Structure 1
Amino acid sequence: MSLPADFLIAVRQLIPAQRLFDDPLSTLAFGTDASFYRLIPQLVVRVEAEDEVVALLQLATRFDVPVTFRAAGTSLSGQALSDSVLIVLGDQWNGREILDGGERIRLQPGVIGANANAALAPLQRKIGPDPASINAAKIGGILANNSSGMCCGTAQNSYHTLAGLRLVLADGSVLDTEDTVSVAAFRHSHAALLEQLAELGRQTRADTALAERIRHKYRLKNTTGLSLNALVDFDEPLEILSHLMVGSEGTLGFISSVTYHTVPEHPHKATALLVFPDVETCCRAVPVLKRQPVAAVELLDRRSLRSVQNMQGMPAWVRELSVNACALLVETRAASPSLLDEQIGQILHALADFPREKQVDFSTDPQVCNQLWRIRKDTFPAVGAVRPVGTTVIIEDVTFPVEALAEGVNRLLELFDRHGYTEAIIFGHALEGNLHFVFTQGFDDPAQVARYEAFMGDVAQLVAVEFGGALKAEHGTGRNMAPFVELEWGADAYALMWQIKRLLDPTGILNPDVVLSENPRIHLQNLKPLPAADAIVDKCIECGFCEPVCPSNGLTLTPRQRIVIWRDIQAKKRAGIDTRELEQAYQQQGIDSCAATGLCAQRCPVGINTGDLVRQLRTGQARQVGRADWLAGHFATALKGARLTLTAAGTARRLLGTPRLQRLSRSAQRLSGGRLPQWTPAMPQAVKWVDIPASMASDKPRVVYLPACVSRVMGPAAGSGEQMSLFDKTRALLAKAGFEVILPAGLDDLCCGQPFASKGYPEQAERKRGELLAALMQASEQGRYPVYCDTSPCTLRLLQGEPDTRLQLHDPVRFIREHLLDRLEFQPVDTPVAVHVTCSTQHLGEADALLAIARRCSTQVVVPEGIHCCGFAGDKGFTLPQLNSHALRTLKSAVGSCEQGVSTSRTCEIGLSSHSGIDYQGLVYLVDRVTRARTPAV
């Protein structure tokens, strides 16, 4: 059914056009969350204020239009989808306020969970919920799904750590439980509603059998259905209402703010892996551990261990475990090292009588701990990476009573075999009896759907009926388990949930068919296709973990959405459907606006670099092969041309003045369709380049210095307080540290190939890269001397594709930490310094080292939250400046207190300077400023 015309007219008067999406590409892109369902919304609305939500809900009620709220879309059970109106959070929902010295924190729903914890970290506090998706999931979704996690258990979830709530009901009314004026007004305007909630509570508590069933269910981890425990835990109707909102998955109202009681984040921790000979022994150890001072206990069956045993970096002993082995990954945390040691001794003593096949003793070494946790965290992606193309990965989570955990595991294993899910694995949060099981499933033919239906029916009977457990422990009911809520809870509790739903959402407009549905087959409908598109991205499970680090997120498409659209294009082509209109839209939204930096691969559970797909598509579209060949063969001439262009721009600035030139440049850039670069005050001046031969003094250590092509062309901006070029500054710093500098021969003809690769000319890119590597081998005397490249992206480019291992390639960060720290004395400044960790620095694994060096230079290092990639992307900052400005839209407010910014990429620094209000320079400028040559020991 199409949306009412009057509703659409009213919405367009309320919301600016740029925040309304109804075109086929956008609605398809938003029609996907992390689940295995797909619904295409008719309208997507990006909201930026509570008033907009209020007005939208009033309109939806008036015109009987269903709406669904979405935060990050990492939900696994289909609760963030709509075939009507999808309301998504914009940028303006990121507020947070630390209260009572960190004992509480007030958060808007758009705050990413990990960012909330980052704000609390200096106070050694954190929010209670700790879902695996915490680096992507937003507070609105964490609360609405009552997400938990590895350490959270039941005591520290959103329900039990809720301190206050601000919400919008279906009728558009607003309640802030922490505001006495709001509470008083709501008590007056909604007296009847509050009395009905109070009466439901009285009736529920009076029904002894029902009340005890509810209490039993919530002793377990349980997110099946609505939070009926609110009716037995509280008699105050406002408390009932606010706690009903937890886990309601957007079916009862919109959460515009939440205040949490925080929990301690102990700084000292130790991790061990205990491998038992069989499931029974392993599970018998769990109740013993539950009485010990443990923060997390993760169970891994032999199948899950087998799924990761051949991964690079996995210890050899994992492959040697017996067929029935079952492991517990145990972590304990404490406020002090002595207390930690005491806890470790207590835990080991409690388990002394349990036989173990293998044991990795408790370790506080971060490297050991990370390797052990990697065994646990890689199980899910391991299944995803080997699944057949076209199938999806399903991760379910159930709860068994802890005392029945061993039998529950074995019965689940029997179901896997009975239904042919031989690849399925089990792992989970053992302390709560919470098991995740992961399997692959195709939905492209009726037989596969029937197999899934039969399997889930058996799972429901096993968990909910035979064991009295929970069909959803922490992933939310969604569409996935809506048909089984009555089976798990019973007719009386199910009817009570419907009473609550109809009381708070009388017209049924809020997220219909989620949590509660009258359609017994809703879990088998609107199943998401995952058609083959390209080997680079076919393993994508559309989880959305990649989205927070993508610079085009909120401007055009995210990596997940790029893959969704490309999959659809390929499927339509195979079906003979005309895709020209969709491909035309995808050109700008998906291809041209992609920074292709590959940060998405670092967040992706299966390591997909969507930038690789985009570069491949650009290669297919590349039509200037002759021009690329000429540039590759005449690179020195091209650099001279670039210097002349910058010189001309500098002359124009002096003649016209900065404001006029900026206006003219902006107009020219727009009229040329992005072909002409946009000039800004941060535009560099031309470097006056001359080859400088090395003196080769024999008594000094030598380094081959590779100034990147941008360093040979782009000097400081005219308005910069530092007018020495990066090339000269680097040579000065190396000389201060006592190094003799060697430059590769024919330097101005050399290039790493990155400009060609990013434009879709891989052949020319590899030719230039090969030439440069050969020149560096010669200059370094076959790897005898280290090579220092002053730009991180070029270093990364050279390291790709297995270069000669004799070549010691260093970016600025690595060279400084390995070769300069011992040769320089640091005298840190007290002024705040902003640090931008470039995408390439992250790929090189030098992010922590960069921050450590910065902290040697300044006592106040600022790393702006949420800026993972600057979006300059080589030259896109010139040709597609809106990508750069969008990626850095929050930078200026984040670095307002800083006097200087540092990075390791000259082009990134142009964009950073333009959008921050401060001057960004290479890291060597800061290091040179605060150091002097170390005095030799006498």
Structure 2
Amino acid sequence: MNFQSFFIDLSNAIPSERIIQDSLRTLAYGTDASFYRLTPRAVIQVNSEAEIIHVLKTSKKHQIPVTFRAAGTSLSGQAITEFILITLGDNWKGHTILDNGLKISLQPGVRGSQANKYLAPFGRKIGPDPASINAAKIGGIAANNASGMCCGTAQNTYYTMDSMKLILADGTQLDTSDEHSIAQFRQQKSSLLTALKDLSDCVNSDPKLVEKIRYKYRLKNTTGYAINSLTDYQDPIDILQHLMIGSEGTLGFISEIRYNTVIDSPFKASSLMFFESIDLACKAVSLLKKCPVEAVELMDWAAISSVRHHDTMSPLMPSLSKGCAALLIETRAKDNSELDNQIQEITDTLSANHVHSNIEAPFQKDPAITSQYWSIRKGIFPAVGAVRTTGSTVLIEDVAYPVDRLAEAVKDLHHLFEKWNYHNAVIFGHALEGNLHFVFPQSFDSPEEQQRYEGLMEDVTDLTVTRYQGSLKAEHGTGRNMAPFVEKEWGSKAYQVMEQLKKIIDPDGLLNPGVILNTDPNIHLKNIKPLPASNQIIDSCIECGFCEPSCPSRDLTLTPRQRIVVQREISRLKNDQQDEARLKTLTADYQFYGDDTCAGCGLCSTLCPVGINTGDLTRQLRQEKNADKDTKALWFANHFSKTTKGVKLGLTVANAGRHIFGNHLMKTLTKATNTLSKGRVGEWRPNLPKANNWTPEASHIYSDTKKISSNSKKVVYFPSCASRTMGVGPDQEDQRPLTEVIFNLLEKAGFDILYPKNLSNLCCGMPFQSKGFLDIANDKRSELINAIEQASNHGEYPVLFDTSPCAARAFEQLPDSLTCYDPIEFAIEHLLPNLSIQTSEEQISLHITCSTTKSGLAEKMAFLANQLSTKVFIPDDIACCGFAGDKGFFTPELNQSALRTLKPQLPKNTTLGVSSSRTCEIGLSEHAGIPYQSIYYLLDKVSRRI
């Protein structure tokens, strides 16, 4: 293979920055959620169909294999390669809603949860609902024929697809919704279509084979190719597009897919029922299959025990006996009356057949309660993963059995676990479809461990295929994991059909080789991903990728998962001490890709199944790196008043420079200065605010904790250091600093305002924490808490923090005696009830900060905004803004990347953005093209005294 010539030809259409060959990013970008590891020779980021076609034609010319990858949440090793990995750039996120939501066209870069968000106003959703739907992209969902908890078989992509756009290995395009495209394709690929038709006729002429195909697809089945398309359809165009579903990128690239959507019933209820045995639980499943239920999730005793510390499970555990099983049942309806009737029908059916739960478990409609039920079920896999021995991995297998034999199959699996000493294995799954997942820790560091795993899989295969005629892969795809067993499940005739399909559609075998069909009987035991001990913060990571959608650097450098992958490799190389050159390269490159561009926002922890905050890892690494700078940081902490005065002076000088030189020249000057100072100065931002010179004393009303009123309503107001130093931006209509606005609001709402003593020296510690000076940061926070405790008369008065990041940092260690508020909660609880609101009709854009999300206040912030304006827009797919304190000045590309999709989304008449973090608002204003300011400005504008 001549890779050099390949890359030269590739560069004719793909910019060099999107042909990635460095060792750090090929390792990081080449990792998926499976327990396999292959590092690609290069990662190509493509932005259009034209680029895909160019890559494929170049691949064919040089006979170099390629693999497509979407989100990399697949579990069976189908999204990795040692050759060329093709990933999706920014331009694959388009969607079009058709027929009032009955159909939706989606490009492969749209996440499943985003598609459902687009359809929500129409009361519709896409059919597939994999557990990874918040991270998984449509390209992967379709290519793997993913299903999920409620999807079953009737609503997967195979059955809900309307049409698709696809590109074959030689670059030929087909749009199955366009008659002209179909006619052109029939001319271009007549031999391919003829071969498909002939193969279909051959299959249909064999009654036994047809019957086997139909029998196999009575259950969920993603093992091998979707050869049911050969019996379900006559037109080779239909056959081809249905073969693409579940083909795992081995037959072509799906550039767009149109779904027939399904009803998303708005009224839902769930029940968590416990039964004395698996037998009783499975008997209930058989009965429930005839009832109006959307989902029935089965959990065996080991699965229940794995989540015994869950807040909802913990009180129930003493009343549960060993060996019991649980069912999580959900029913949905169009209205509350229908929902009540369905609940009654389900309850009556179970009672009439003498199937009773041994714990009273009435159906609950409250989303807060039902979400807790579902978090129990979703927490099983990560719970097992989190307690595994460091260095081992956690495997999840995916089988399907006839529902009427489910209890028998579970018992047989338990016997196999005992035989092969998998004492920590748990079983759960989508019981309505007979789809079971079993999860267990596994080490591959010795021949004995590998043999143990091999023995288990051989026995599971024999049990599933021979005894139950079930599916070895129900919904996770074949990948490399099950490729050696495809022929055993399907038999030689069906397997030969699959081999013929591959040769017809991808004759050179260049698309994702080794996946689905593989001649190596031991491929499932090779290229096992190393998971060495690295850091206690990240050692429990299972590399699922659920964290990635929340990360502001995901499209610039690395995601949290990828940072962990690289850190693990660095740790492995340190331990091996055999490849010092690679270790040196990875360590050096990690500074920018891993550290400099990590916002440390911690949003990854909100999506991580085991709660890992990769920002904590970054701060710990910074602490180690900056250990020799503690003395300087301590001086700034002890002289914080002087520090903030220096910042104010700098802002004053900078704004004077803006007036003299203008934004363009200031950007040029500061960029040059920043380069000469080796990154110590920072770069110019056009929305840099002026200094805030307002002080409590300037009001002539309050100073420290002195009051002049006998008003019974008192509040301690703590302005963050950002609010105290930074005034308004150059484009803001209201030129008052936030501190003055809040003072006015509190007075208007009838509050006496108290301030902590020594205010100018107080700080929550976040600026020090973000640099890795963790002890100093904690000391500053303790100093602040002591001050507000005194100011509040030991908790007698509420305390208002005016920015969300500051509040979130302080609240981590608040004593129970204090009642402190984030600005959002304070506005809802104390300001709205004491003010007259005249709701604005101004179109506003709302940015919910990462601190607000982590604090669980995102919905409350949206509620507050909707009380203040009738037109509130929340941009899609923007979580953390990436400004990250001062990173907007020192690593501005992070802020730019995180917000690059903001401006194009904004409604045309948007004039104002609101948020709750002063530094975030600088970057938001720059990249949105409209001024962003605290939501308190809008509250002050629309409120009057009562």
After TM superposition, the score normalised by the length of structure 1 is: 0.98
Residue 105 (structure 2) pairs with residue 106 (structure 1): yes
1:655-691 CA-partner distances (Å, limit 9, x unpaired): 1123322333344334544322222221000011434
What residue is the counterpart of 1:175 in the other structure? Answer: 174
What residue is the counterpart of 2:810 in the other structure? Answer: 798
Residue type at the aligned position of 2:223: T
Work out whether residues 225 and 498 of structure 2, in 8 Å CA contact, stay in contact via their aligned partners in 1.
Answer: yes
What residue is the counterpart of 2:85 in the other structure? Answer: 86
Report the more deviating stretch, 65-74 or 860-869: 860-869
- Displacement of 1:297: 0.6
CA–CA separation in structure 2 for the residues paired with 1:298 and 1:860: 40
CA–CA separation in structure 2 for the residues paired with 1:923 and 1:250: 47
What residue is the counterpart of 1:486 in the other structure? Answer: 487
CA–CA separation in structure 2 for the residues paired with 1:690 and 1:414: 73
Residue 879 (structure 2) pairs with residue 868 (structure 1): yes
**What are the within-5 Å matches in structure 2 for residues 117-196 of structure 1?**
117-196=116-195
CA–CA separation in structure 2 for the residues paired with 1:667 and 1:184: 59
647, 657, 678: which one pairs with 2:662? 657
Residues 206/696 of structure 1: CA separation in 2 closer, same or farther (3 Å cut):
farther
Work out whether residues 310 and 319 of structure 1, in 8 Å CA contact, stay in contact via their aligned partners in 2.
Answer: no
CA–CA separation in structure 2 for the residues paired with 1:763 and 1:270: 47
CA–CA separation in structure 1 for the residues paired with 2:678 and 2:235: 61
Work out whether residues 694 and 740 of structure 2, in 8 Å CA contact, stay in contact via their aligned partners in 1.
Answer: no
CA–CA separation in structure 1 for the residues paired with 2:444 and 2:723: 53
**What are the within-5 Å matches in structure 2 for residues 717-728 of structure 1?**
717-728=729-740
CA–CA separation in structure 1 for the residues paired with 2:204 and 2:843: 57
* Percent identity for Structure 1 against Structure 2: 51
1:864-913 CA-partner distances (Å, limit 9, x unpaired): 11111000001000111000000000010112432111111000000100
814, 827, 831: which one pairs with 2:842? 831
What residue is the counterpart of 2:826 in the other structure? Answer: 815
Residue 358 (structure 2) pairs with residue 346 (structure 1): no
Work out whether residues 685 and 889 of structure 2, in 8 Å CA contact, stay in contact via their aligned partners in 1.
Answer: no
Listed as ranges, the gaps of 5+ residues in structure 1 are none
Residue type at the aligned position of 1:877: G
Work out whether residues 875 and 905 of structure 2, in 8 Å CA contact, stay in contact via their aligned partners in 1.
Answer: yes
Residue 684 (structure 2) pairs with residue 684 (structure 1): no
What residue is the counterpart of 2:914 in the other structure? Answer: 902
Residue type at the aligned position of 1:50: E
Residue 599 (structure 2) pairs with residue 595 (structure 1): yes
CA–CA separation in structure 2 for the residues paired with 1:346 and 1:461: 39
CA–CA separation in structure 2 for the residues paired with 1:675 and 1:545: 35
**SS at the partner of 2:108?**
coil
CA–CA separation in structure 2 for the residues paired with 1:182 and 1:867: 36
Work out whether residues 398 and 472 of structure 2, in 8 Å CA contact, stay in contact via their aligned partners in 1.
Answer: yes
CA–CA separation in structure 2 for the residues paired with 1:189 and 1:21: 33
Residue 498 (structure 2) pairs with residue 497 (structure 1): yes
CA–CA separation in structure 2 for the residues paired with 1:551 and 1:310: 32
**What are the within-5 Å matches in structure 2 for residues 124-273 of structure 1?**
124-273=123-272
What residue is the counterpart of 2:786 in the other structure? Answer: 774
1:334-372 CA-partner distances (Å, limit 9, x unpaired): 011111111111111111121321131111111221121
CA–CA separation in structure 2 for the residues paired with 1:332 and 1:39: 42
Residue type at the aligned position of 2:922: I
Work out whether residues 3 and 84 of structure 1, in 8 Å CA contact, stay in contact via their aligned partners in 2.
Answer: no
Residue type at the aligned position of 2:119: L
Work out whether residues 711 and 751 of structure 2, in 8 Å CA contact, stay in contact via their aligned partners in 1.
Answer: no
Work out whether residues 312 and 373 of structure 2, in 8 Å CA contact, stay in contact via their aligned partners in 1.
Answer: no
**SS at the partner of 2:238?**
helix
- Displacement of 1:543: 0.6
Residue type at the aligned position of 2:720: A
Work out whether residues 718 and 756 of structure 2, in 8 Å CA contact, stay in contact via their aligned partners in 1.
Answer: yes
CA–CA separation in structure 2 for the residues paired with 1:195 and 1:233: 17
CA–CA separation in structure 1 for the residues paired with 2:587 and 2:381: 33
1:717-741 CA-partner distances (Å, limit 9, x unpaired): 1221110100000111111111111
- Displacement of 1:239: 0.4
Work out whether residues 78 and 248 of structure 2, in 8 Å CA contact, stay in contact via their aligned partners in 1.
Answer: yes
Work out whether residues 732 and 931 of structure 2, in 8 Å CA contact, stay in contact via their aligned partners in 1.
Answer: yes
CA–CA separation in structure 1 for the residues paired with 2:318 and 2:215: 40
- Displacement of 1:313: 4.5
CA–CA separation in structure 1 for the residues paired with 2:329 and 2:2: 52
- Displacement of 1:554: 1.9
1:301-320 CA-partner distances (Å, limit 9, x unpaired): 11111111123443411342
Work out whether residues 443 and 527 of structure 1, in 8 Å CA contact, stay in contact via their aligned partners in 2.
Answer: yes
- Displacement of 1:146: 0.2
CA-atom RMSD, angstroms? 1.1
What residue is the counterpart of 1:638 in the other structure? Answer: 643
CA–CA separation in structure 1 for the residues paired with 2:945 and 2:276: 59
**SS at the partner of 2:165?**
strand
**SS at the partner of 2:363?**
strand
What residue is the counterpart of 2:96 in the other structure? Answer: 97
Report the more deviating stretch, 691-700 or 835-844: 691-700
- Displacement of 1:13: 2.3
Residue 33 (structure 2) pairs with residue 21 (structure 1): no
CA–CA separation in structure 2 for the residues paired with 1:94 and 1:668: 38
Work out whether residues 271 and 330 of structure 2, in 8 Å CA contact, stay in contact via their aligned partners in 1.
Answer: yes
Work out whether residues 694 and 737 of structure 2, in 8 Å CA contact, stay in contact via their aligned partners in 1.
Answer: no
Work out whether residues 307 and 383 of structure 2, in 8 Å CA contact, stay in contact via their aligned partners in 1.
Answer: yes
Residue type at the aligned position of 2:866: R
Number of residue pairs aligned between Structure 1 and Structure 2: 932
CA–CA separation in structure 1 for the residues paired with 2:513 and 2:319: 50
**SS at the partner of 1:310?**
coil
CA–CA separation in structure 2 for the residues paired with 1:157 and 1:691: 62
Residue type at the aligned position of 2:393: T
Residues 604/56 of structure 1: CA separation in 2 closer, same or farther (3 Å cut):
same
Report the more deviating stretch, 132-141 or 687-696: 687-696
**SS at the partner of 2:61?**
helix
CA–CA separation in structure 1 for the residues paired with 2:94 and 2:477: 25
Work out whether residues 426 and 437 of structure 1, in 8 Å CA contact, stay in contact via their aligned partners in 2.
Answer: yes
What residue is the counterpart of 2:515 in the other structure? Answer: 514
CA–CA separation in structure 2 for the residues paired with 1:596 and 1:877: 13
What residue is the counterpart of 1:544 in the other structure? Answer: 545
Residue type at the aligned position of 2:573: K
Residues 572/47 of structure 1: CA separation in 2 closer, same or farther (3 Å cut):
same
1:443-476 CA-partner distances (Å, limit 9, x unpaired): 1111111111110111010011210000001000
What residue is the counterpart of 2:589 in the other structure? Answer: 585
CA–CA separation in structure 2 for the residues paired with 1:22 and 1:680: 33
875, 878, 882: which one pairs with 2:889? 878
What residue is the counterpart of 1:842 in the other structure? Answer: 853
What residue is the counterpart of 2:700 in the other structure? Answer: none
- Displacement of 1:700: 3.4
What residue is the counterpart of 1:624 in the other structure? Answer: 629
**SS at the partner of 1:71?**
coil
Work out whether residues 310 and 376 of structure 2, in 8 Å CA contact, stay in contact via their aligned partners in 1.
Answer: no
**SS at the partner of 1:435?**
strand
What residue is the counterpart of 1:604 in the other structure? Answer: 608
- Displacement of 1:696: 4.4
CA–CA separation in structure 1 for the residues paired with 2:323 and 2:567: 42
CA–CA separation in structure 2 for the residues paired with 1:78 and 1:95: 27
Work out whether residues 77 and 480 of structure 2, in 8 Å CA contact, stay in contact via their aligned partners in 1.
Answer: yes
885, 893, 898: which one pairs with 2:904? 893
Residues 666/722 of structure 1: CA separation in 2 closer, same or farther (3 Å cut):
farther
Report the more deviating stretch, 307-316 or 146-155: 307-316
Report the more deviating stretch, 41-50 or 353-362: 353-362
Report the more deviating stretch, 364-373 or 898-907: 364-373
1:356-400 CA-partner distances (Å, limit 9, x unpaired): 211311111112211211221111111111111011111111000
- Displacement of 1:828: 1.7
**What are the within-5 Å matches in structure 2 for residues 37-116 of structure 1?**
37-116=36-115
750, 759, 783: which one pairs with 2:771? 759
After TM superposition, the score normalised by the length of structure 2 is: 0.97
Work out whether residues 401 and 469 of structure 1, in 8 Å CA contact, stay in contact via their aligned partners in 2.
Answer: yes
What residue is the counterpart of 1:5 in the other structure? Answer: 4
